[in-house]
């Protein structure tokens, strides 16, 4: 069963070969409300670690022209923070490895200056001026200011199984690993965004927390998740429910597994899982993700021996970001990786051929991008 918490999978994985050519990140997304107007705003915070064995006193940027010419790989701790919606922006703050401290045990912890993250809390700040953003394209970000102080309660997990178990992590077989310790998480605390103060409450934070690690990024890259769900059959809010879909093209060594997604739906205490790595479940997936002039559109159909899940989601491009990462080898392959936190749509769940529920989805985290190889 996928709802199995395992914080050992959240421990830093940048050992051995991946310390020289690897990344590890912890992602957090949630919704806050303006302290005066009550207006909703979706935020994200990520701590991204890259190539620690190559580091020193200063961050090393792979996108600097001189480093690209000489084949110098990036090395840094990047704190990524930002917001979706009107005036969406991603802000990047970089630290050299001698400025950062990583707790390699369990629970994990990462800290540098005033930025800190562990299983149960995060705090920090990022401030980029327009002049700095323009002068440093290698930072791959926009301008703005964000600070935060948050508690995290990871309530429901998506433990994907064998692909991220201890043995597979030790041999570093997969190009990109995934573990969602908090696919449903409750956040509480405060955020200041460009001088505006927001409060974050557990019941309305619609929070999510996961991690990825590996040597490169999948293409296509697909992710959808939400815990702000309402039954369209009964009209009731589903307060003990969440779903999570992710993947695209996993690779084991040099072997690519095209068009594979992992997904889980915790529906009011009942688990529905569609996991291709559990071959005895006979999971089958078909998906279509595309870009229109104004939207990103996801359609995912998954079946196993007993169940079916059909997900349709859209997100307005005006509310999204083209999120930026460089791979540990210094290449920036994803240049149209759309990322949002305000997705809307429906999920239909079936068991034994009968409709269980048709569910309205709001405040969905969502991502899609691919590149030509």
Distances (CA, A) of 136 to 60, 131, 133, 339: 13, 9, 5, 22
Q: What is the pLDDT of residues 6-65, one digit of tens each?
A: 999 999 999 999 999 999 999 999 999 999 999 999 999 999 999 999 999 999 999 999
User: Are the C-beta atoms of 221 and 334 separated by less than 8 Å?
Assistant: yes
Average pLDDT over residues 77-95: 97
Q: The tokens of 126 are what?
A: 């990022």
Average pLDDT over residues 332-346: 97
Does the pLDDT at position 173 exceed 70? Answer: no
Which of 71-85, 146-160, 204-218, 254-268 is predicted with the least confidence, judged by mean pLDDT? 254-268
Sequence-distant (6+) residues with CB within 8 A of 139 are 61, 92, 94, 128, 132, 133
Predicted TM-score (pTM) of this structure: 0.96
Does the pLDDT at position 312 exceed 70? Answer: yes
Provide the mean pLDDT of the chain.
94
Count Cα atoms within 13 angstroms, Cβ side, for 142: 15
d(CA 324, CA 133): 13
How would residue 248 be classed by pLDDT, with cut points 50, 70 and 90?
A: confident
Cα 277-183-214 angle, rounded to 5 deg: 55
Q: What is the pLDDT of residues 257-296, one digit of tens each?
A: 777 899 999 999 999 999 988 889 999 999 999 999 999 9
DSSP string across 227-276: -EEEETTT--B-TT-EEEEEEES-EETTEE--SEEEEEEEETTEEEEE-T
Q: How many CB atoms lie within 10 A of CB 62?
A: 23
Does the pLDDT at position 164 exceed 80? Answer: no
């Amino acid at each position: 069963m996928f709802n199995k918490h395992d914080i050992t999978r959240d421990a830093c994985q940048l050992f051995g070969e991946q310390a020289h050519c690897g990344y590890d990140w912890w992602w957090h997304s949630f919704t806050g409300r303006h302290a005066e107007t009550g207006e909703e705003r979706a935020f994200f915070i990520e701590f991204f670690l890259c190539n620690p064995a190559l580091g020193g006193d200063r961050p090393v940027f792979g996108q600097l022209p001189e480093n690209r010419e000489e084949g110098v790989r990036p090395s840094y701790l990047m704190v990524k923070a930002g917001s979706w919606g009107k005036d969406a922006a991603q802000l990047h703050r970089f630290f050299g490895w001698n400025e950062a401290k990583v707790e390699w045990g369990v629970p994990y912890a990462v800290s540098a200056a005033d930025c800190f993250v562990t299983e149960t809390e995060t705090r920090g700040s990022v401030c980029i001026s327009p002049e700095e953003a323009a002068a440093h394209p290698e930072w791959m970000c926009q301008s703005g200011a964000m600070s935060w102080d948050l508690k995290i309660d990871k309530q429901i997990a998506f433990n994907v199984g064998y692909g991220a178990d201890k043995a597979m992590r030790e041999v570093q077989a997969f190009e990109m690993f995934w573990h969602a310790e908090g696919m449903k998480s409750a956040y509480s605390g405060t955020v200041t965004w460009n001088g505006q103060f927001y409060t974050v409450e557990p019941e309305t934070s619609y929070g999510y927390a996961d991690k990825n690690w590996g040597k490169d990024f999948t293409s296509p890259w697909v992710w959808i998740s939400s815990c702000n769900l309402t039954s369209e059959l009964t009209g009731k809010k589903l307060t003990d429910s969440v779903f999570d879909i992710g993947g695209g093209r996993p690779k084991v060594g040099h072997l690519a597994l095209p068009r594979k997604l992992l997904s889980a739906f915790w529906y009011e205490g009942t688990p529905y899982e569609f996991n291709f790595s559990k071959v005895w479940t006979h999971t089958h997936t078909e998906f279509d993700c595309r870009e229109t002039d104004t939207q990103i559109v996801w359609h995912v159909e998954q079946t196993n021996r007993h169940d079916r899940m059909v997900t349709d989601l859209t997100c307005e491009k005006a509310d999204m970001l083209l999120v930026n990462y460089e791979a540990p080898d210094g290449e920036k392959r994803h240049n149209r990786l759309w990322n949002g936190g305000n997705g809307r749509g429906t999920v239909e769940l079936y068991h034994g051929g009968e409709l269980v529920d048709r569910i309205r989805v709001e405040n969905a985290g969502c991502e899609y991008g691919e590149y030509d190889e």
